[in-house]
Amino acid sequence: MNDTMRAAADFLLSHDNYDILTHDYPDGDTLGSGYALCRVLRQLGKNARVITTRLPKDFVFLAQGLEEQSFDTQTVVSVDVADEKLLGSNREKYLGKIDLCIDHHEINRVDAPLKCVDPHASSNCEILFELFAEMGVPIDADTAACIYTGVATDTGCFKYSNTTSKTLRIAAELLDLGADAPAINKVMFDTKTKKKLLIEREAYNSLTYCAGDRCAIIAVTQDMMKKAGVNDDELEGLASIPRQIEGVEIGITMREKEPNVFKISVRANERLVNAAQFCARFGGGGHAAAAGCRIKGTLAEVTAKLRETAEELL
């Protein structure tokens, strides 16, 4: 990792005019990574912009103070993107054009000449924290807030098994650098809209079990979302619900993204089941404890496939 970290640092220092790609349905880690890298590159006097399919309202603060820049793209970097198909509507434009891939997923399928991938890192932002140190760039308070957001959200506010002593030391340094952890944690973990409570109730009502109650599945359909009046911004955090149930080893959340197309989020007890390998059966991937994929079919058909796989693995 030291060699690839040095190579990535040298690359970022020697190029300019950056498009920074985040993954579709962006979360705190990909957005925190994107805006942290954008801030550091601009601090070095370079042109940089974050390319994202959308910026959920809870994450608008990450881009605060960053004015739009217009320039001809020379360099493309992806952050927290495990596969080019996860670029969503940006895929066609950037397919085969990524110069540097920075990622922390166990399975990475991005086609890039230079990769800085560490599957042992708690988050992509943890890699960036070290990368900035390798570049010799000081981290200001706004950048620290971006990095902290990614680290905190990908570790479940430091609850998940990917949290290491190294992760906690980095978080402590970020606080010393000016990251407002209490304010960020309140927005990320302790604030819900009334609409989000409505969709959570719908999700709980959909709960089913299989594999001797060791697998729990919840589903959110487009009809449910329409009934609750919510969009994708209100669905963050739903994936943790099934896995919180006592005795459940695999928690599965199904989100209907378009008619008969479901985005699957899997949370697993990695000592028994590898979530990434579970999702790989359906063309997805991720981490041992948390992974995702997409499956086409009706609610009943997709549920049956997931139940069959869970029962086989358990």
The rounded percent of the chain whose pLDDT value lies above 90 is 90
Q: Please give the average per-residue pLDDT across 246-269, as a whole number.
A: 95
Residue 63 has pLDDT above 80, yes or no: yes
For the chain, domains (ranges, CATH) are 2-189 (3.90.1640.10), 194-313 (3.10.310.30)
- Least confident residue range of 70-74, 167-171, 222-226, 231-235: 231-235
Phi, psi of 20 (to 5 degrees): -105, 115
> Which amino acid would we find at residue 114?
L
- Note the pTM of the prediction, 2 decimals: 0.90
Residues 12, 135 contacting (CB under 8 angstroms)? yes
| pLDDT confidence tier of residue 281, bands split at 50, 70 and 90 | very high
Confidence of residue 270 (pLDDT cuts 50, 70, 90): confident
pLDDT in tens, 159-176: 998 999 999 999 999 999
Confidence of residue 1 (pLDDT cuts 50, 70, 90): low
Q: pLDDT tens, 21-62?
A: 999 989 999 999 999 999 999 999 999 999 999 999 999 999
195, 210, 221 from 217: Cα distances, Å: 21, 8, 13
**For residue 106, is pLDDT > 90?**
no
| Residue 292 · residue 286 · CB < 8 Å | yes
